[in-house]
């Protein structure tokens, strides 16, 4: 996973994404962190595991802080111990119907401002991405389900695929080195009482937009393969080159042309652009295909089943108590 702010999915990183505009639900932002009479925690953390057994830390760790109606993000550390990252590592540049959204690179005591919240609860975050031109048209919403982690195995909710793969010595994933290491390191480690996490269930936006996630430029012929012929569209007079492959549960791979340069992006249409249910169905089909081709007890089918099962357990964001528990075993 990229060290992305939400789209979260990315929320993107955490990735966050959006339903249009003003929320009339009971989960709307109240200004004091309260939603439906309960206190909503103001600090959340993403933890993404690496793939090496020699890393300094077990995870990349990014912090998200709510202060009033402002949402901030900050890199705590990468798996190799670095705290240096450029703005593309934490902040997206967006192209929307009302223009380009270039984020501020000014770091505050709380980190970089990710956006302005118009709705905030443990089940839904809606925000307008911060930008230097004070554009307010684009709104992104991410919906979550809350999981009580008290007493649960840390490994199963931090990186469920490695947890499952490392617990089965009869299969091999990348020689099984990292999964075995991961399971051995976290064996018997559980979350303390009061730990919880958010799992992203869907994401929406109130207008068509592209998320530009890399500052590395590339031409369309270099970016798209020979069997993936691109099409073109435009947004706010900017050309967008779209992959011919249309995924079922997330945005379309794309390039946005700004001046004479092309930037890797994800193109997302207005409305719902991610659901966990759709992703799960696609993974379930991969599992059925593996069973049909190789057999239910084959290594291929077992691995595909682990991918399916992981979707229900992989936490997007952890509260501070859960994050501290992860740090303690890292």
What does the alpha-carbon distance between residue 134 and residue 191 come to, in Å, rounded to a whole number?
Answer: 41
> Within a domain: residue 21?
no
> Within a domain: residue 328?
no
**Both 243 and 214 in a single domain?**
yes
Closest CA to 319 of 159, 148, 164: 148
Q: What is the pLDDT of residue 37?
A: 31
Q: What is the pLDDT of residue 174?
A: 59
> Within a domain: residue 50?
no
**Both 251 and 223 in a single domain?**
yes
**Both 240 and 292 in a single domain?**
no
**Both 174 and 223 in a single domain?**
no
Residue spans of alpha helices (H) in 55-202: 87-90, 154-158, 160-166, 177-186
What does the alpha-carbon distance between residue 297 and residue 42 come to, in Å, rounded to a whole number?
Answer: 45
**Both 251 and 215 in a single domain?**
yes
**Both 264 and 220 in a single domain?**
yes
Residues of the chain with pLDDT under 70: 1-39, 85-88, 174-176
**Both 160 and 180 in a single domain?**
yes
Which residue range is the domain that position 254 belongs to? 208-269
Q: What is the pLDDT of residue 6?
A: 43
* SS3 per residue for the chain: CCCCCEEECCHHHHECCCCCCCCCCCCECCCCCEECCEECCCEEEEEEECCCCCCCCCEEEEEEEEECCEEEEEEEECCCCCCCCCHHHHCCEEEECCEEECCCCCEECCEEEEEEEEEECCCEEEEEECCCCCCCCCCEEEEEEEEECCCCEHHHHHCHHHHHHHCCCCCCCHHHHHHHHHHHHHCCCECCCCCEEEEEEEEEECCCEEEECCCCCCCHHHHCCCCCCCEEEEECCEEEEECCCCCCCCCEEEEEEECCEEEEEEEECCEEEEEHHHHHHHHHHHHHHHHHHHCCCCHHHHHHHHHHHHHCCCCCEEEHHHHHHHHHHC
* Domains in the chain, number: 2
> Within a domain: residue 183?
yes
**Both 213 and 264 in a single domain?**
yes
> Within a domain: residue 113?
no
> Within a domain: residue 74?
no
**Both 241 and 290 in a single domain?**
no
DSSP 121: S
pTM of the full predicted structure?
0.87
**Both 222 and 262 in a single domain?**
yes
β 252-258/261-268 pair status? antiparallel
> Within a domain: residue 187?
yes
> Within a domain: residue 130?
no
Residues in the chain: 330
Q: What is the pLDDT of residue 39?
A: 52
């Amino acid at each position: 996973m990229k060290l992305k702010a939400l789209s979260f999915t990315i929320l993107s990183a955490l990735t966050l994404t959006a339903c249009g505009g003003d929320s009339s639900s009971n989960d709307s932002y109240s200004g004091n962190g309260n939603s439906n009479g309960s206190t909503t925690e103001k600090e959340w953390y993403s933890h993404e595991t690496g793939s090496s057994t020699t890393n300094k830390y077990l995870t990349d760790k990014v912090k998200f802080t709510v202060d009033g109606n402002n949402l901030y993000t900050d890199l705590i550390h990468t798996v190799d111990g670095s705290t240096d990252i450029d703005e593309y590592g934490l902040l997206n540049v967006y192209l929307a119907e009302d223009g380009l959204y270039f984020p501020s690179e000014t770091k505050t005591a709380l980190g970089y401002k990710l956006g302005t919240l118009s709705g905030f609860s443990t089940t839904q975050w809606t925000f307008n991405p911060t930008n230097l031109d004070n554009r307010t048209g684009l709104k992104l919403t991410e919906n979550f389900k809350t999981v009580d982690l008290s007493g649960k195995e840390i490994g199963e909710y931090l990186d469920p695929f490695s947890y499952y793969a490392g617990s089965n010595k009869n299969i091999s994933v990348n020689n099984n080195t990292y999964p075995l290491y991961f399971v051995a390191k976290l064996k018997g480690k559980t979350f303390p009482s009061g730990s919880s996490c958010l799992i992203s269930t869907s994401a929406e936006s109130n207008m068509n937009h592209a998320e530009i996630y890399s500052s590395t430029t590339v031409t369309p012929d270099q970016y798209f393969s020979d069997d993936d012929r691109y099409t073109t569209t435009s947004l706010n007079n900017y050309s967008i080159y779209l992959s011919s492959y249309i995924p079922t549960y997330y945005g379309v791979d794309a390039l946005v042309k700004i001046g004479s340069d092309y930037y890797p992006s994800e193109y997302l249409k207005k409305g719902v652009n991610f659901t966990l249910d759709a992703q799960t169905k696609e993974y379930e089909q991969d599992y059925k295909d593996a069973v049909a081709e190789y057999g239910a007890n084959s290594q291929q089918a077992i691995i595909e089943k682990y991918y399916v099962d992981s979707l229900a357990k992989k936490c997007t964001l952890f509260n501070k108590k859960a994050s501290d528990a992860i740090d303690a075993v890292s």
